[in-house]
Structure 1
Amino acid sequence: MTTPPVLTALVLAGTRPGKPDPVAVAGGVSHKALLPIDGVPMVVRVVNALLAVPAITQIIVCLEDPSILAGLLPAQVQVVPSCPEGPSASVLDSLARQGTPLLVTTADNALLQPEWVEELLNKTALQTDIAVGVATQAAIQRSVPQTKRTYIRLTDMVFSGCNLFYFKTSVSARVAQLWRTVEKNRKHPLRVAWTLGLGILLRAVMGRLSSQALYARIYKLTSVHAQLVPLSDGRAAVDVDKEADIILAQKLAPALKAQYGR
């Protein structure tokens, strides 16, 4: 366990071009980030959680039109245009401008608690370059038995992502660049397979991939030491991606407020 240094937090709040976001449409708002959960817009909830993390000294929110958030966030929060090429490009831009360490999350991570962020930072190993917050299937089923999440199945861990990424060292930007390559080719599965390695993808699909094998592949592609960090509270995996998530988040928010005070 290490003491995390001061860091910048980046909140991805942009909307992809094209069809209106179904969550925004269901919530009757122009942008998903503005959807209220327990009476507070999601992006405000996320920013408030980050403001309560002592290690975070700067918060940046990016979306395509910063004027959308005018007057909504505390004055010390910087709002910048997101990159039209996608979220990975926005992360790369922030890494280039702000450097590391950089914590990345999303505006739809509406239930985020500062304790979850601190747990990720404190559990990140000394040698790790990039850490990803996850919640195991067991933790999710214990904390949120009524939810249905998308799970990634490794031989030694079954988990769902928590939209928390800790770019700890400068070399971690190589993972963001790999993400950018995959994102650009997301409509071309063969190109993605070529980039990541067909063997690793087959092992993942067949359930024969371990976390150590995954780390080794990431290191081979990027020379970056990666780490999956299981968080204690399974509710950390609940983001608001679809209409059913709105209902779930509305149910969970009061209990989280009673437990954590926010």
Structure 2
Amino acid sequence: MTGFTALLLAGSRPGDDPVAAYAGVGHKGLIELAGETLLARVLHALDAAGAARVFVSTDAPEIAAAAGKLRLKAEVRVVPAAESPSRSVGQAAEATGTPLLVTTVDHALLRPEWVRQFLDAVPAEADIAVLVAPEAVVQAAAPGTRRTYLRMRDGRFSGCNLFLLRTPRALSAVALWRRVEAHRKQPWRIAGLLGPQMLLGYGLGLLTLDGAVRRLGRKAGATAAAVRTPYGLAAVDVDQPADLDLVRSIVAAGPISETC
């Protein structure tokens, strides 16, 4: 799939970002890795994957300025970030339409082949899809790394910060995400949104990954799918200072193989 439209989330966290502070810069996207900012690395990966347009969602003037200086084959536009990631995605999707690939500025190791594999593997019937990596694949690529995993009946999986809003029906899933995000400190409200059977099934380890994703999609009024990646490093983003140390060590070791 080439000529796609992508959204790069590059908003700022409320308060100080611990990773940006650790790196001594004003915004995570300006952290340099092998002489290139995270912003530039992600934009170049999307460009090489075949993007025709990339929208950079940010509230940081320095990120907007840096994005405007890059020369890519893809058209790059800066759009204002909303008050949360889900609102930024919904706002952008309503303006740009679908399909829309979504990723984040801290996807420091992003490779074009990861993007292409994801887009090619999304089922034709899916309205929305998410890329995930099995734990064994992640650990083989980055032994000992600590990621957040979903514990399912058929294994443990880490998200890879790549999503595809394939049809307009995906906006209903974004709306559910927005409601969940709004109640993240009120678990009883989230239980009401997702339903007790869903939460109980997950808590007891009864749900498979595909089954859980399908059920979440139905709850939102869309067909949802999970795509498994063979690239373990696709699950490595830069949320904590330790993550930055990890990606620096990976990049310092040499070119990232297509068979990570």
TM-score range, shorter chain: over 0.9
Instruction: Give the letter for the 2:130 counterpart.
Output: V
Counterpart Cα distance in 1 of 2:164 and 2:203 = 26
From 54, 60, 65, the equivalent of 2:60 is 65
Counterpart in the other structure of 2:178: 180
Partner of 2:194: 196
TM score, norm. by length of structure 2: 0.92
- Corresponding residue of 1:40: 36
Aligned-pair distance for 1:157?
A: 3.3
What's the offset of the Cα at 1:66? 3.6
The answer to whether the 8 Å contact 1:155/1:209 transfers is yes
Which consecutive segments of 4 or more residues in structure 1 shift more than 6 A?
Answer: none
Q: Which runs of 5+ in 1 are unaligned?
A: none
Unaligned runs of 5+ in 2: none
**8 Å contact from structure 2 (residues 173, 221) kept in 1:** no
Find the counterpart in structure 2 of residue 24 from structure 1. 20
One-letter code of the match for 1:164?
A: L
**Which whole-Å CA distance do the structure 1 matches of 2:256 and 2:194 have between them?**
43
Correspondence for 1:160: 158
Q: Percent same amino acid among aligned pairs?
A: 41
For 1:117 and 1:256, how far apart are their aligned partners in 2? 21
**What SS is found at the alignment partner of 1:215?**
helix
Other-structure match for 1:10: 7
User: Is the CA contact (8 Å cut-off) linking 1:66 and 1:79 kept in structure 2?
Assistant: no
**Map of 1:108-147 to 2, 5 A cutoff?**
108-147=106-145
Contact 1:23 1:32 in 2 (8 A): yes
The 2-side partners of 1:103 and 1:247 are apart by 27
Partner of 2:219: 221
Segment of structure 1 superposing worse, 212-221 or 173-182: 212-221
CA distance in structure 2 between the partners assigned to 1:224 and 1:22 by the alignment: 36
* Superposed CA offset, 1:210-235 (max 9, x none): 22431342233122111111111101
Q: SS at the partner of 2:129? A: strand
1:257 partner SS: coil
Secondary structure in 2 matching 1:77 = strand
- Residue type at the aligned position of 1:40: E
**Secondary structure at 1:59 match in 2:** strand
Tell me the TM-score normalized by structure 1.
0.92
The worse-fitting range, judged by mean Cα deviation, of 248-257 and 160-169 is 248-257
**Count of residue pairs the alignment pairs up:** 254
RMSD: 1.6
Tell me, yes or no, if the aligned pair for 2:2 and 2:49 is still in contact at 8 Å.
Answer: no
Does the residue aligned with 1:117 lie in a helix, a strand or coil?
helix
Q: For the structure 1 residues 147 and 177, does the alpha-carbon distance in structure 2 shift closer, same or farther, using more than 3 Å as the test?
A: same
